[in-house]
Structures are given as structure tokens and as C-alpha cells.
């Protein structure tokens, strides 16, 4: 991964509310990565952060899901746009 690309990635928990992001990388143990992929947070998936700081409410594949801050911290996204 290039240095410039690394600068564009941010944890899902830091995505502004209302912003659309594209999942680029999952961090954490293999079980966590597999579980969030099953929930729809696979690499290249689009996710909208609805709200939250401690519990992150987001929408992925038409479904609203709540994630803990710790889980959202391990999902790295590239911000695509803001509503």
C-alpha cells in the first residue's frame, strides 16, 4: 500500500455521520474479519455511517447495523462522498 493511499483510509468510526465510505481493508483477527464480511462489510462494499461515536450505526447493502466502536475501528474505509 502506498503512503498516499494510507492517508486516504480512516477507521469507520471516524467517518463523518452521513458520509459514504468504501471498505478498503479489514484489520483484526481472522475470525473478526470473516464475521464482518458475512455481515456485508467485505472489501469494496459501500457503507454509510448514519450516526454514533460509541456505538456506530451504519447502513450496508440496504441494512442498518450497529457496531461497537472497537469493531468499527478495525474497518478501514475510503470516504467517497457526503450527503
Domain ranges of the chain: 3-82
We find that the CATH architecture of domain 3-82 is Roll (2.30)
Q: Is 65 helix (H, G, I), strand (E, B) or coil?
A: strand
Query: Per-residue confidence at 11, pLDDT binned at 50, 70, 90?
Result: very high
- CA 31 to CA 35: how far, in whole Å? 6
Q: Report the pLDDT averaged over residues 9-25.
A: 96
28: Cα separation from own chain's centroid: 13
- CA 52 to CA 32: how far, in whole Å? 21
Question: What pLDDT, on a 0 to 100 scale, did the predictor assign at position 7?
Answer: 57
Q: Is the pTM of this model over 0.75?
A: yes
Query: Per-residue confidence at 56, pLDDT binned at 50, 70, 90?
Result: very high
Instruction: Report which of 40, 39, 42 is spatially closest to residue 24, judged by C-alpha positions.
Output: 42
Query: Per-residue confidence at 81, pLDDT binned at 50, 70, 90?
Result: confident
Instruction: Report which of 60, 63, 62 is spatially closest to residue 45, judged by C-alpha positions.
Output: 60
Amino acid at each position: 500500500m502506498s503512503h498516499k493511499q494510507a492517508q486516504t483510509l480512516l477507521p469507520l468510526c471516524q467517518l463523518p455521520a452521513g458520509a459514504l465510505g468504501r471498505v478498503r481493508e479489514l484489520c483484526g483477527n481472522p475470525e473478526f474479519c470473516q464475521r464482518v464480511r458475512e455481515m456485508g462489510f467485505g472489501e469494496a462494499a459501500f457503507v454509510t455511517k448514519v450516526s454514533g461515536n460509541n456505538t456506530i450505526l451504519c447502513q450496508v447493502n440496504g441494512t442498518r447495523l450497529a457496531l461497537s466502536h472497537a469493531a468499527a475501528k478495525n474497518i478501514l474505509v475510503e470516504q467517497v462522498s457526503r450527503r
